[in-house]
Amino acid sequence: MSGELSGLQIFKYLPAAKKQECANCKKCGCPTCMAFSLKLAKNQIEIEKCPYAPEELRSIILDAVKVKQHEYTIGSKNIVKTGGETVLFRHDKTFVNKTVFAISLNSGDSDFDEKLRRVGNFQIERIGDVFKVDAVYLKDTGNFIQAAKKVDAEGFVLILESDDAESLEKLKEVNPVIITKDPEAFKENLIVISSDNPDNLERLSSQRIKDGYKKIILNPKMKNISETVEMLTYIRRMAIQEKFEPFTFPVMVKIPQSDNIAKTTAEAALLICRYANIIVFEDFDEAMLASLCTLRQNIYTNPQKPLQVESKVYEINEPDKNSPVVLTTNFALTYFAVANELESLPFGSYLVVTPSDGMSVLTAWSADKFTAEIVAKTVKKYNLEEKVNKKSIIIPGLLSHMKEELENALEGWEIVVGTIEACEIPEFIQSLGYGKNS
């Protein structure tokens, strides 16, 4: 679409809608004004083709195609995207590219390899997504090229800080973010501009745009976290609401070293929510990153698309004919809560996941997405009766009222009402006698 205008919205400005004499004159190459407006909405024709398009429409179209925040790709082997945001609040639509987490390392440190290995070893999995550190912020303190190549080989994207243009030139191929005093030679690359003053940052950004720099990252260096959040909010507002060009770039913030890791975690959490595109950590702490990855995942999922897993029978811990059968919906959080508990059992189990559009148990039931018919269909589809000796299904405790209905729909199956809380599942299953002979 042409910015945010639909064909009908555009049509209202054209001669045919205003019943002018020149309506449908075909000068634009389209048979009618309506055909022209539909094409314009899809960016398939330029507004200049219509000599009668009013000035008001021209300025609306020009404004609509302006970028709110530029989106960049960083890296060569593994890549990350940053920027590209179009809303101020996640619930307005969705945030697009999750905050990039970068760990700061000094290239000349004697224990550089060890530090890099530790950063590389960090990995957590949550709701089926695997998270690692995205980037390394490499400061030139010696052995720069060698260190950068090691970081690149480890699959991290690079943010390079050096005033050695020759070294940076040699590292252009890894598609890094570049921080250097004199960026003249890197006009085509992604460069960072920094200032501790909002007006100065705006001035610098405008100047770089004028000088022909193609890709910019803004780095406000404010005195404290409250000033930083204030500045980031101002930049994002100016970008999204005003499309103010000097601030339409992703923003990077560095969190200084601290011996209070809880404070660093809290500050980073604030910056994820408001509105850092890249956060550089001077500290590397696995527990801090694990909690921040979890927060980031929550903020950067699409609120219009529920997190869901595939509807099928999951075989957990190599189940056999004596294993229990447990039932739940395909809402990802519900699935992982139940699956994690089943994994903790010393024997296998079958987890039947019904198709329920990613809704949790009670929501699915109230929306008619968890009915006796759907459950019966799922159980039959996966031939569960051939997989177990005891035809018994444990249903979520919240659906106890469906017991009779399910027994009628699943002839020959015993319906057992399970627990309300997932954490009670292992004890409950063992109390039913499962696992005694395994």
Residues that bind ligand SF4 (CB under 6 A): 14-16, 22-28, 30, 33, 36, 50, 52
Distance (Å, whole) CA 230 – CA 235: 9
Closest distance to ligand SF4 from the beta carbon of 53 (Å): 6
> What does residue 329 show for φ and ψ, rounded to 5 degrees?
-100, 175
Sort residue 80 into left (φ over 0), alpha (ψ -120 to 50) or beta.
beta
7/91 Cα distance (integer angstroms):
26
Choice between 26 and 117, CB closer to ligand SF4:
26
Q: Which CB sits closer to ligand SF4, 52 or 347?
A: 52
Cβ distance to ligand SF4 smaller for residue 10 or 332: 10
- Residue 30 or 351: the one with the smaller Cβ distance to ligand SF4 is 30
Instruction: For the CB of residue 396, give the shortest distance to ligand SF4 in the complex, in Å.
Output: 59
- For 262, the enclosing helix (H) or strand (E) is helix 261-273
> Looking at beta carbons only, is 14 or 289 nearer to ligand SF4?
14
Distance of closest approach, residue 33 Cβ to ligand SF4, in angstroms: 3
Query: Judged by CB, which is closer to ligand SF4: 27, or 117?
Result: 27
Tokens of 396: 């979520």
Query: Minimum CB separation from ligand SF4 for residue 50, in Å?
Result: 3
* Nearest distance from C-beta of residue 253 to ligand SF4, angstroms: 47
Cα gap 240→288, rounded to integer Å: 30
The C-alpha atoms of residue 365 and residue 313 are separated, in whole angstroms, by 20
Nearer to ligand SF4 by Cβ, of 20 and 260: the residue is 20
Q: Which whole-number Å values give the CA distances from 172 to 65, 169, 190, in the listed order?
A: 31, 5, 10
- In whole angstroms, the minimum distance from the beta carbon of 28 to ligand SF4 comes to 3
Buried b (16+ CB within 10 A) or exposed e, 240-255: beebbbbbbbbbbbbb
Torsional sign, CA 45, 49, 50, 56? positive
User: Strand 177-179 to strand 313-316: parallel, antiparallel, or no bridges (unpaired)?
Assistant: unpaired
Evaluated on CA atoms 197, 203, 208, 214, the torsion sign reads: positive
CB-side exposure of 98: number of CA atoms within 13 Å? Answer: 21
Rounded to 5 degrees, φ, ψ at 420 are -80, -40
Residue closer to ligand SF4, measured from CB, 40 or 148: 40
CA-closest candidate to residue 108, choices 174, 162, 152: 162
Give the Cα separation of 392 and 29 in Å (integer).
Answer: 69
What burial class does residue 327 get, using C-beta atoms within 10 Å of its C-beta: 0-12 exposed, 13-18 middle, 19+ buried?
buried
**CB of residue 14 to ligand SF4, shortest distance in Å:** 5
Min dist. Cβ of residue 54 to ligand SF4 (A):
10
Q: Nearer Cβ to ligand SF4, position 50 or 415?
A: 50
Nearest-approach distance from CB 1 to ligand SF4, in angstroms: 18
Smallest distance, ligand SF4 to C-beta of residue 61, A: 13
